[in-house]
Structure 1
């Protein structure tokens, strides 16, 4: 098999001067699938289809903006000298943690205005978010970014990867660890686990599907981030590693404290009921 082909073109097609990138197509596909699954689950839990769509209309632009702001802030040494590039998200350079922070802020404001349980909404969308993250990493693959340390052809071949992945990990004559793939598999694995568990009676109180998502994602992200070479740094560790530790510990502590102090909180499967919740 020939592994010395040219890299995959990150541009899917052009419409005159407009270039449509695979990155955008993959992200859009992930969002469509996530929304479809969230709508289906939301109906079962008493959240209307229109509420999901309206939330998306607010959350998407704010998530993109916050993801870019997060990235630019931690790369300010570069962008302070290249201000004209701060908005060029199609070249890469958005941080998923920044997107999640923006989305959670919007979810809180939106749900309070619509009188929907914030925790219930987060539970409904959490599995679809981690699925979208897993799919979205393939946009990084097309851009040859979010990769790991230098490695060898024989190492990648030993992982029994398809030839097109090995070839795409050959960047300017050097092979790199496919950390995009590691995270994609971790995220999709988390998606499957949450789907298998969240409908089990007596397992999740409201909010705990979301906490489980945070615990799963931050645990894997900590280790995978440590393998990357393009991470935003803060002291001795990468920014995302610091945040992963904080979120992992906070989610576990918060989950158990809610169970202990608020035992009357409703179950996730109760759906949208007017019952005690904190």
Structure 2
């Protein structure tokens, strides 16, 4: 039997498995089976914690569809809570510094990238105001914050068919690595509402990297200055960034329960 913890950040939920002492083999099919909300444990992402030669731990992230991805901001906040201490975390997107707060964690998410080939896009274009569109959506921005994001700023978030358009845009050929799709509405001088269609997971209650990417795009466009409050369906995140600097994300993390699962039966 393999022990796990069920955790979430603003409702974006995870199955966390500690593989520091004994390796745990995770395939795409096994990750899918664990994430299945009817026949498995159920989660948006499976998080595997492994030993690291360069940090306190290494974090691997598997989406509900079994794909392994580079970054997950909400999961990163859960790691120091899981460990019970501040932690430097090795990820495929780089080294992240996560520190405990009263109700979660504050994470240095590193520096965003804006070059078209770093997103990546299929061909060169301006990533601040992209000369492309889907139906009535305005020209988006694109940001890589360890994983790829495209951001649409809209006047009325409730009028957008986020599920249909998110699924369509995620797999558009413009995004050779697929993309996380962010739909944002400015509701104050330093306040955004956000809904995210996550690559490989669909609509989730919250997306930490999406909140980072969207706040960065809003600041780059001159819509606001940091810190920015980003309100997602699951709650609020505080994102602070100044051009040329690192992104700081602060928000809740919650431990729900512990359990055991027989991986050989999946």
Which TM class, normalised by the smaller chain length? under 0.3
CA radius of gyration, larger in:
1
**Structure richer in helix, relative to its length:** 1
TM-score, normalised to structure 2's length? 0.22
Bigger fraction of residues in strand: 2
